[in-house]
């Protein structure tokens, strides 16, 4: 019997891997689960992805691309707003309607702690975020700082479960965008201290 021509099979397997991770988490990602989800023979998943980490990396890369596309779209969508407000709106979306996707992205992102092969992908998405934020800031270092602030705020709010204060987030981003505060003289006494 002739083998069926299926040029999109690898793509369908990756899509299935993302769905499996979305529904069952990283622990639920197996070749067997992905093959069933993609409706392909088990041998197809092992042909295209030799090990589980390769499947995980493909899923992470797909999620990274979606995450960066979503950030770019939302920054463009609110281009009439000041940058700090655009970022605060993005955080509101990420913790509201987009929360499930945000949690999945971070689950995959932190998988790099236990799977060293995934670290370059996590690093690449951070560089991608900094590149998207670059037009909002004067230099690449400021873009990395703004990326760290955005990333840190999302992680803290996801883990703590604290209510999101959009006004406070605007203030945070405004502070980062404003650059470093003027240095104070060391060794000077507070005003009014005559000791």
pLDDT tens by residue, 37-54: 999 999 999 999 988 889
Specify if 188 maps to a domain.
no
| Whether residues 92 and 152 fall in one domain | yes
| Whether residues 106 and 157 fall in one domain | yes
Q: For the chain, what is the domain count?
A: 2
Output the pTM of the full model.
0.80
The whole-angstrom separation of Cα 120 and Cα 118 is 6
The list of the chain residues with pLDDT below 50 reads: 1-2, 189-195
| Whether residues 40 and 113 fall in one domain | no
User: Could you tell me the residue range of the domain that residue 137 belongs to?
Assistant: 61-178
| Whether residues 92 and 149 fall in one domain | yes
| Whether residues 113 and 34 fall in one domain | no
Query: What secondary structure, in 3-state letters, does 81-149 show?
Result: CCHHHHHHHHHHHHHCCCHHHHHHHHHHHHHHHCCHHHHHHHHHHHHHHHHHHHHHCCCHHHHHHHHHH
Residue 73: CATH number of its domain: 1.10.357.10
Q: pLDDT value at position 5?
A: 57
Q: pLDDT value at position 181?
A: 62
| Whether residues 41 and 89 fall in one domain | no
């Amino acid at each position: 019997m002739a083998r069926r021509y299926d040029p999109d099979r690898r793509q369908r397997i990756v899509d299935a891997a993302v769905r499996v991770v979305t529904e069952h988490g990283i622990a639920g990602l197996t070749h067997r689960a992905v093959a069933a989800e993609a409706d392909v023979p088990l041998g197809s998943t092992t042909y295209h992805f030799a090990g589980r980490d390769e499947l995980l990396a493909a899923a992470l890369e797909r999620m990274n691309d979606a995450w960066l596309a979503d950030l770019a779209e939302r920054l463009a969508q609110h281009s009439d707003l000041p940058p700090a407000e655009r970022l605060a709106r993005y955080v509101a979306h990420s913790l509201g309607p987009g929360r499930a996707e945000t949690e999945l992205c971070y689950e995959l992102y932190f998988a790099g702690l236990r799977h060293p092969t995934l670290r370059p992908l996590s690093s690449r998405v951070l560089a991608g975020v900094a590149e998207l934020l670059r037009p909002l800031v004067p230099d690449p270092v400021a873009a990395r700082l703004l990326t760290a602030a955005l990333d840190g705020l999302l992680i803290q709010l996801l883990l703590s479960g604290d209510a999101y204060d959009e006004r406070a987030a605007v203030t945070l981003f405004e502070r980062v965008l404003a650059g470093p505060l003027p240095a104070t003289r060391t060794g000077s006494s507070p005003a009014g201290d005559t000791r």
